[in-house]
Amino acid sequence: MVRFSHFKSIKFLVFILAFLPSFIHGQELNLSVKVMVQTSFTVDPALFKDLEKDIRNFMNTTKWTDEEYQPHEKISGTMQITITSEPSPNVFQAELILQTSRPVYNSNYESPVLNIIDKNVMFNFTGIQPLLKTTNTFYDNISAILSYYAYVIIGFDDDSFSLYGGNLQFSRAQEIINSLPGNMVRDEGWRNDLGSRRNRFWLIENLLDGRMRQFRQAFYDYHRMALDNMYNDPDRSRAVMLSALTAIGQANVEYPNTMLVQVFGDTKKDEIIEIFKMGDKGQKTKVTNIMVGMDAAKKDRYSVLN
């Protein structure tokens, strides 16, 4: 798969190539990881520093795919884990906030790709057991959750560069779900009952559901056909972006109230507003109607376009 390397300046490429041999098998992720604690716990606070270090190393040094990523191609982002309670010794309840971005052609701008808040992270951690890359064999919940999000990050990034490019990574995330033991299947973060349909199971279900193929086509068009051409032809690129948003709005009609559309709206709202501030009145009205149709709670946010 062709990523973004051909968009870098020649001077930057020369610099990178000079140092490339030692990085030729570089991993995919470059995440900043922070573990925060809301209150005091029975365990030594140093345990959470160990957890932070272990997660950072696990996410950034594991080779998740067969693709070769050069240093400047790594996917940038942040992962913040806030420990909220300790239901039993060395068992923690936490909230995970994940944000990633990708570069936009001919600019210094990084476009947000993911903005996910997962409030149902429950795991055991003693500081002794290693974190293990997980696909079709379950080891422990924290390894499964982190591996799941690694594949989700890479899958979304791939989808932004290549049409349906994230299929393999989303399928690997689904394999993790399929490998869960019975007690984990009932965990709030993984369960597949209808409920609120806002968890790890439903995000992958949405991504692989045939009703959302037009969403994924539109996600690709939004990034490669619109954003990456914005510098060269902003008016045409806005028109292409509006068409992509229209398709996402239609996907929301055909499969309403999906987590996938919610994540898109949460991630892209500020970017969409800034881009269409320069649009004509008709575009502003259409964008407002589409985005408010996806999430009425954001109506006031989009009012700046009117």
Mind listing the pLDDT tens digit of every residue in the chain (306 residues)?
555 544 433 334 433 433 444 344 579 999 999 999 988 788 888 999 999 999 999 999 999 999 989 998 999 999 999 999 999 989 999 999 999 999 999 999 999 999 999 999 999 999 999 999 999 999 999 999 999 999 999 999 999 999 999 999 999 999 999 999 998 888 999 999 877 899 999 999 999 999 999 999 999 999 999 999 999 999 999 999 999 999 999 999 999 999 999 999 999 999 999 999 999 999 999 999 999 999 999 999 999 998
Q: What is the pLDDT of residue 214?
A: 97
Judge residue 143's burial from the number of C-beta atoms within 10 Å of its C-beta, 0-12 exposed, 13-18 middle, 19 or more buried: buried
Please give the C-alpha separations between residue 244 and each of 225, 227, 293, in angstroms, as whole numbers.
9, 11, 15
Structural domain includes residue 193: no
Query: pTM to 2 decimals?
Result: 0.91
Indicate the DSSP class of residue 276: H
Give the Cα separation of 20 and 15 in Å (integer): 9
Structural domain includes residue 263: yes
Structural domain includes residue 63: no
Structural domain includes residue 7: no
Give the Cα separation of 76 and 66 in Å (integer): 19
Structural domain includes residue 270: yes
Spatial CA neighbour of 110 closest among 120, 99, 118? 99
Structural domain includes residue 18: no
What is the domain count for the chain?
1
Query: 75-88 and 29-37: which strand pairing?
Result: parallel
Find the domain containing 233 and state its range.
Answer: 211-306
Structural domain includes residue 194: no
Rg (the chain; Cα; Å): 20
Residue 265 gets the label, from left (phi > 0), alpha (psi -120 to 50) or beta, of alpha
Q: What is the pLDDT of residue 43?
A: 86
Structural domain includes residue 296: yes
Q: What is the pLDDT of residue 1?
A: 53
